[in-house]
Amino acid sequence: MSRWSERLAQRLKQLPPYLFAEIDRLKAQVAARGIDVIDLGVGDPDLPTPPHIIRRLQKAAEDPANHQYPSYSGMDDFKVSVARWYRRRFGVELDPANEVVSLIGSKEGIAHMPLAFIDPGDVVLVPDPGYPVYQAGTVFAGGVPYTFPLTKDRGFLPDLSALDEGICHKAKMLFLNYPNNPTSATADLDFFREVVDWARNHDVIVCHDAAYTELAFDGYRPHSILEVPEAREVAIEFHSLSKTYNMTGWRIGFAVGNTDLVAGLGKVKTNIDSGIFQAVQYAGMEALDGDQDCVKQNNRVYQQRRDLLVEGLRKAGLRVTPPKATFYVWCQVPEGYTSASFAKHLLSEMGLVTTPGNGFGRFGEGFVRMALTVGKERIQEAVDRIQRIGF
């Protein structure tokens, strides 16, 4: 160990190894043994970015006007496209100038949000299981993460009324995410109304991660928290083009909502990054304003994969509920296994990469997450391998 690794900042020492980096390490070990690995781990779409979006990038990239520094908060035209999309999709009216900020992917905005509003010692309420960045961003800002459970008996929705009142009075920020990663749970408008009322009563900022609202099946249409009119008083919502339009590598997203919250995040970004390459923003406008048949086609593909995987897992004796949204299947581990031991068994014995539920928090124990981001042939091969052993 070098002397510099011993001098890592305390904020880094507080964090566990980043979940997906650890999975990549184990996957490489198995592949080195000559095993054919099927990766159902990290949620990175295998489907290509739609051609009309690529063409718009190509045209914009050739324009020298886009080769200079972009606006920190996003091009005005991009923010107008975001507002138009919200109006069409959710019936929510946004002021592009004051209620929209562009992001270098929603992960970046989520990680930076605590820097804008959390001082050392402030409490941030974080779902367990949940996306690891909620906790990491809190720690980087010097905040104190306080986890609350998402359990199967409540449909993986939190019971905010059960939180300790002393913690509630100390809390300054709350992270939520529906449709949910990793559980694939969904939330209705009544739930969001309860959240908004709770947040207004306790003077807490609500950060809603809505990255998966466009990945839904069987006619289901997920909601935005901003469909609750009073949400503008307390909420900011994070969105991404990554999953919706297969643009994970493009790094473009946005946050919308309360003007003070949007401005605070924008001020952090002004001091940390230089915005999104304008050609990518033009491609984002094409995605948001263009033909949405590509989104429908994505969902048809993922629904077919979902049905194939769920049916195969059930035939193998595993307990799983078909997700209404996201491209994740949250599968209960069989008796005699923990999340980690089952994921390790699937990887070492069958060459299947899954994500152990406890990697998302201690209440994720008893589950593994499988992503629908490989083709039907590979999913069929995965379930064949599982069924040959059975549980």
129 cis-preceded (ω within 30 degrees of 0) = yes
* Tens-place pLDDT, residues 149-186: 999 999 999 999 999 999 999 999 999 999 999 999 99
90 has a pLDDT exceeding 60: yes
3-state SS class at 221:
coil
pTM: 0.95
CA distance 372 to 305: 6
List, in order of start, the domains of the chain with CATH numbers.
Answer: 5-48+294-389 (3.90.1150.10), 51-289 (3.40.640.10)
CA distance 151 to 129: 9
* Tens-place pLDDT, residues 42-81: 889 999 999 999 999 999 999 999 999 998 788 999 999 9
Q: List Cα–Cα distances, 369 to 151, 180, 331, 364, in angstroms.
A: 15, 12, 6, 10
Q: Can you give the pLDDT at residue 204?
A: 98
Q: Can you give the pLDDT at residue 11?
A: 86
Q: For residue 113, name the pLDDT band (cuts at 50, 70, 90).
A: very high
Compute the average pLDDT of residues 329-334: 97
Compute the average pLDDT of residues 281-304: 98
Q: Can you give the pLDDT at residue 13?
A: 81
CA distance 130 to 60: 37
Average pLDDT, the chain: 95
Q: For residue 230, name the pLDDT band (cuts at 50, 70, 90).
A: very high
390 has a pLDDT exceeding 80: no
389 has a pLDDT exceeding 90: no
